[in-house]
Amino acid sequence: MRYSETPFFQSNQTTNITPFLNESQGSSSNSALIVGVSSGAGFAIIILALWLWHQKMKKSKTIEEGESALQPDKSYSYQQLRLSTNDFGEEYRVGKGGFGEVFKAILDDENVVAVKRLHVDHARVKSEFETEVRLTSNVQHRNLVRQLGWCIEGSELFLILEYIPQGSLDNFLWGDKRGTLNWEKRFNIILGVARGLAHLHNEFHVKIIHRDIKLNNILLDNDFQPKICDFGLARLQPDDQTHVSTRRLAGTLGYMAPEYAINGHLSEKVDIYSFGIVVLETISGRRCTDEHFSGPDTSHLLEHAWQMYEKGMHVDLIDQALDVEEHEKINVMKTIEIGLMCTQSPASLRPTISEVILMLSSGLSLGPEKLVKPSFIDPRRVIYIGAIGSQNK
């Protein structure tokens, strides 16, 4: 581009550029004329206006396309789901949770899927289901369970999801598959969960806060790749707010961050806290609500892990069923420290999920030399009544 304070061409001047074309391209049978404008500045303004208009139209189109892309992929009939599960028979049921049941089914040319059946008793849940469908229909990541379709039948709502054969992570830590995960697999699971959260927090076109990260919401495929499931509790966080206050809790005690459990403050750091608890459970093989680790005064896993860290003995937190090589212990201890870093209070001290991934991948710490003690909430003795903030101990 060239710039000048005076016009390049006189008003209404024409210039034959054929000689220039012939000179650079050999010969040309076409003649060309270029018409100058009276003001180079005026021409630049016109170009700038056209460019701004094009960007505005492009952005508008992108928003419209994003909205339409949030529509669910496929609607299934209730009859299809009923027949594929033998009328939702017990032999097809593979899971049950607070939101309903999960059935294994075969749909669409012998494709094995999971059918999540939600029991609805009021309109609010139906509205939340529609929100879930809009959010999750366009989420695709190797560490997130993919939604394939949906069904609405009266008061019953269904999600059709990809089927993950090996079940949830908790079954490998304290279920019938206990002892089958070595340290390499456990570390890769922790890293994979972090990557799935990073997609929800940073890489999707809107920020999604899961609000219920826990072991039985982490499924393992045949290659032991983790996949985060159950976005029924997912909520959006506006980009211009640091937290959202909610007057109705959603999540699981023991995994719930103090600022969210007590004051209803919701931010992506709530998921970071839950992730930290998952890290400690995955390494220790113990539930976060287990009691009396190091005496009657230790009420739960997080407090026990902190006490061990303060004594420099957090290597003793490692699951006894986990045969860790001597050269791996440093990495395990570093991962425990990252888990504790994710549970610090206030929430501003916790790293982002991107920083967590960097620390896990590099083995380096981005935090202070000395971690800040978490706020301990005993999940067995705290009962939440009514509005957020009311509690009996």
Rounded Cα distance between 103 and 94, Å, is 5
Structural domain total, the chain? 3
- Average pLDDT for the chain: 78
Whether 380 and 296 share a structural domain: yes
In terms of Cβ atoms closer than 10 Å to its own Cβ (0-12, 13-18, 19+), residue 97 is middle
Residue 263 shares a structural domain with residue 358: yes
| Residue 8 counted as domain residue | no
Rounded to an integer, the average pLDDT of 297-317 is: 88
Per-residue pLDDT band for 28 (boundaries 50, 70, 90) equals very low
Q: Do 189 and 155 fall within a single domain?
A: no
Measured CA angle at 374 (ends 369, 378), to 5 deg: 155
Same domain, yes or no, for 332 and 376?
yes
Where among 129, 162, 195 does a domain terminate?
A: 162
Q: Does 227 score more than 50 pLDDT?
A: yes
Structure-token pair, residue 382: 């705290």
Residues contributing to the annotated binding site: 116
Q: Examine the domain organization and report whether 54 and 82 are in the same domain.
A: no
Give the residue ranges of the annotated binding site for ATP: 116
Q: Report how far residue 45's alpha carbon sits from residue 247's, in angstroms, rounded to the nearest whole number.
A: 52
Is residue 108 part of the annotated active site? The answer reads no
Domain contains 65 = yes
Global pTM value: 0.74
The catalytic residue among 170, 212, 271, 319 is 212
Strand pairing class (111-119; 100-107): antiparallel
The percent of residues above 90 in pLDDT, for the chain, comes to 42
Average pLDDT over residues 65-80: 60
Supply the range of the domain harboring residue 127.
Answer: 78-162
Is residue 141 within 8 A of residue 197, CB to CB? The reply is no
Residue 8 CB neighbour total at 10 angstroms: 15
